[in-house]
Amino acid sequence: MPPPRVLAFDAGGTKLLGGVVGADGEIERRVLRGIAGLTRDALLETICEAAEKLREGAPHVLAAGFGIPSTIDRRSGRSVQSVHLPFDDFAFGAEIEDRLGLPVAWDNDANAALFGELRLGAARGASEVVMLTVGTGIGGALAFGGRIYRGSSGAAGELGHIPVDSDGPPCQGGCPGRGCLEALASGAAIGREGATVASAAPDSALGRAVADGREASGVLVTELALEGDPGAMSVLELAGERLGAGLAGIANALDPEVIIVGGGAMRAGELLLGPARRVLAERALRPASERVRVTAAELGEVAGMVGAGLAAHELARGGERAEAWR
């Protein structure tokens, strides 16, 4: 008998990362495909082509796992609202099972990433865990008793859409809210704040870079902040403080052991996490404010793929928790 292997995929807004994953989360083969702007049919074809490519070297896979950037209604088995991919109101799991001829474990991408961190990353051994993924937007996931918490319909964990400022700017990506954490502390928000600082301080490194034609993005702000530009550092400090205000609310509501922060914005590291920890400690109630650990994710960009792979192994093994992934 060959050792058990599964296919695993993490579909982001612009790229699909896939691999063959072993039972302990080891990645044996990888594929990367650009998927920005594809129609649903073209995206499904790309997934199938990538799966075929992976199966050439792993013909005996038992199942496939997927993390997708969408809210999910487990009662109907459909992905409901996906900001970046054409998966609105779509029976994703059934369609993919049909196309691949494999049992498919699937979930929101943040849930998949948290599952990876629970098993192999920053939440190993923890029971009550909150994860935020700070990128263009802010995703979130929750685990209680060491198990992913999905809410009454499957859509829980959208922590980026907790209001931090009820009169704040309109949120993005189809969210009807205002002043959500995502509107104030995401990569997109960091870019907007960066543009403001660039025009207010044209002689700063940030101001000069923007005058030279670079986009005032979260990536640029982070790059210059890591080089020590005070203007860029102040933008990250403000975003970190806003993140901390959101984390204080989360800590008060849920009293987690650990809050994990991942996503592309974590290239900024302590420049973002330091102010977030400080504001959390100042504003949350005791004992949560003293007890909760705020830490960077450990698995990086493969967290979602590894988590989806471990979920697929769970599904293939069967047992009590397996069906929760379908």
Binding site for Zn ion (CB under 5 A): 161, 171, 175, 177, 180
- Residue 71 pairs in a beta bridge with 81
Q: Kind and range of the H or E element at 130?
A: strand 129-134
For 200-223, the DSSP string reads H-TTSHHHHHHHTT----HHHHHH
* Closest alpha carbon to 190 in 227, 230, 237: 237
Of 143 and 189, nearer to Zn ion (C-beta) is 189
Asked if 65 and 9 count as a contact pair (C-beta separation under 8 A), the reply is yes
> What is the 8-class DSSP label of residue 292?
-
Other CB atoms within a 10 A radius of the CB of residue 99 amount to 15
CA angle, residues 231, 236, 240, in degrees to nearest 5: 145
Of 177 and 230, nearer to Zn ion (C-beta) is 177
Of 120 and 130, nearer to Zn ion (C-beta) is 130
Distance between CA 262 and CA 303 in Å, rounded? 9
Rounded least distance, CB 158 to Zn ion, Å: 8
Of 161 and 313, nearer to Zn ion (C-beta) is 161
Name the 3-class secondary structure at 127: coil
Of 101 and 176, nearer to Zn ion (C-beta) is 176
